[in-house]
Chains A and B, each alone.
Chain A
Amino acid sequence: MRLINRHPGKHGARLLAVVPFIALIVLYLTASAVRHAANPMDKLLPTLSQMASAVNLMAFTQDMATGDYLMLTDTLSSLQRLIEGLVISIGISFVIGIAVGMLPYLRKLCVPFIAAFSMVPPLAILPILFIIAGIGETAKVTLIVIGTAPFMIRDLIMRVEEMPKAQLIKAQTLGASSWQMALRVVVPQMLPRLIDSLRLSLGPAWIYLISAEAIAAQDGLGYRIFLVRRYFAMDVIIPYVIWITLLAFIFDVSLRLTQRYAFPWFAGAKSQ
């Protein structure tokens, strides 16, 4: 049989999915064991038990100076920045995206400007943000907004524009005003698409969050990683990276599930 027609069974498929993960873990553990056999003080590839004790120290032991659980405080402040940034970004892009997508005058006014603005590398204007807004929370949240909003705005404008024209004509023949069309036809159809757009923006949002924290912060996941880097504390960095990845994954899955259950019509409509 041709390769393109061979399909794994149900169990085979599951097995295939976990293979790369297991391979990576095995590869790491072997390399770590080899290095520790050569040099018991190796810091580059810490063993599982070293990482476990580091996690224990960071996550489950009160910090002597502040009395906080550091990993928890880091996670909460990072998530707060991330969520604040994304919520502002969603708000801005939803309003602008739909208004610009629907109204020809706004399209002519805004599309070239947004296209140009979205080319500005957000990290390059981070110093400007620090100068204007200080090194507090505002600058970090603003960076996330500047980093993600232009993409989401452009994406939404395109999604509005690619709605079948017949639908808007139909709505007008049913007596809808522009406002009613926005409210009853465009917005409800854009909400699930906004979730898609948000899922794609999560990656960049994390990048900007961690960059901002690396440069100026007193806590946060990115701050901690860059802080302990000075001591080659790979036993802290690696668990933090895995934790960040897990958080991002949970965000993604919960957005996907929200889309499926809040907009049951969407999957069917997309495949038509």
Chain B
Amino acid sequence: MSSIEIKDIWQIYDSRVVLEKISLNIEQGSFVSIVGPSGCGKTTLLRMLMSEEFCTRGSILLDGIPLPAEPTLERGVVFQRYSVFPHLTVLGNVLLPMELKASRWLGKLLGPKRYNAKEEARAMLEHVGLRHAADFYPAQLSGGMQQRLALAQALMAKPRVLLLDEPFSALDPGTRADIHVLTKRLWEETKMTIVMVTHDISEAFRLGTRVIVLERPTPDDPTKGARITHDIPVRPRAKDKKGAA
């Protein structure tokens, strides 16, 4: 029951209103796509959800509790770039969340614990189709593989909410189609809530259960911020849909 309540938030930089009076309830387990023209503040909204930015007015609640003032374990993220650690191998990247959890001072697992964690990490890599690349460094991977890795790494931390910031925008169409299938599968398996920001409308509809459109009413007027202009339910959760299909 990790629902997100966004209550009447405003974001104002100096005298420029970026977001105006945004209210949104995101149900547990839904996949919300946020679309809008560039500069409409959709990434700002996502940054607030990950506590990288803070709203000028209003509040955001996760399961009824205001969001903490810094990023935390329950909200995983995948960015368009720089989502994985360049100095760790693919396996090392997936291992890291477990190591951080288990070893407070070293941040590293040793001995049999490490062996077990590696097995778990390899299983996750298998799941996202990266097992063969376990010993590579991220720079040796294609863009699509890097994003698969980023997803796998985020999932290892078992977040309740996954925030995606244009995660597939830099990928070519074929790779993107593959990773869409993977993302959807992971979402269905984990039953977590996903909020994805994208400028690709077809992607928003293909993946989301709900599409939110953010737009500034008059793009050139700094006193009028972006607001939600459309809120489109796309389809019920996948398990209900299976019966229909």
Contact = CB atoms under 8 A, between A and B. Distances in A.
A269 B87 contact: yes
Interface string B79-92: 10111111110000
A180 B71 contact: no
Interface in A162-195: 164-167, 169-177, 179-180, 183-185, 188-189
A265 interface: yes
Interface stretch (B153-161, B173-181, B237-245): B153-161
Given A169-B50, A173-B75, A175-B73, A180 B107 contact: yes
B72 A265 contact: no
A189 B87 contact: yes
Contacts of A172: 70-72
Contacts of A165: 52
A263 interface: yes
Given A183-B107, A269-B87, A175 B157 contact: yes
A184 B82 contact: no
Given A169-B77, A173-B73, A173-B154, A179 B83 contact: no
A40 interface: no
Contacts of B79: 166, 170
B201 interface: no
B177 to A, nearest CB: 24
B27 interface: no
B123 interface: no
Interface stretch (B29-37, B96-104, B209-217, B220-228): B96-104
A271 interface: yes
A170 B81 CA distance: 11
B159 to A, nearest CB: 7
B52 A184 contact: no
A194 to B, nearest CB: 13
B96 A174 contact: yes
A176 B107 contact: yes
A169 B71 contact: yes
Interface residues of B, number: 37
Contacts of A183: 106-107
Given A184-B96, A265-B87, A272-B139, A173 B159 contact: yes
A189 B137 CA distance: 13
A78 to B, nearest CB: 35
Contacts of A184: 96, 99-100, 107-108
B87 A170 contact: no
Contacts of B82: 164, 166-167, 170
A268 to B, nearest CB: 3
A185 B70 CA distance: 18
A249 to B, nearest CB: 29
A229 B82 CA distance: 56
A166 B87 CA distance: 15
B142 interface: no
B41 interface: no
Contacts of A179: 105, 107
A206 B107 CA distance: 38
Contact of A174 (B108, B139, B157): B157
Contacts of A175: 72-73, 97, 100-101, 157
B76 interface: yes
B73 A170 contact: no
A167 B99 CA distance: 17
Contacts of B77: 169-170, 173
Interface of A: 164-167, 169-177, 179-180, 183-185, 188-189, 263-266, 268-269, 271-272
18 contacts: A164-B81, A169-B52, A173-B73, A173-B75, A173-B77, A174-B76, A174-B153, A177-B104, A180-B104, A184-B96, A184-B100, A185-B85, A189-B86, A265-B86, A268-B137, A268-B140, A269-B86, A272-B86
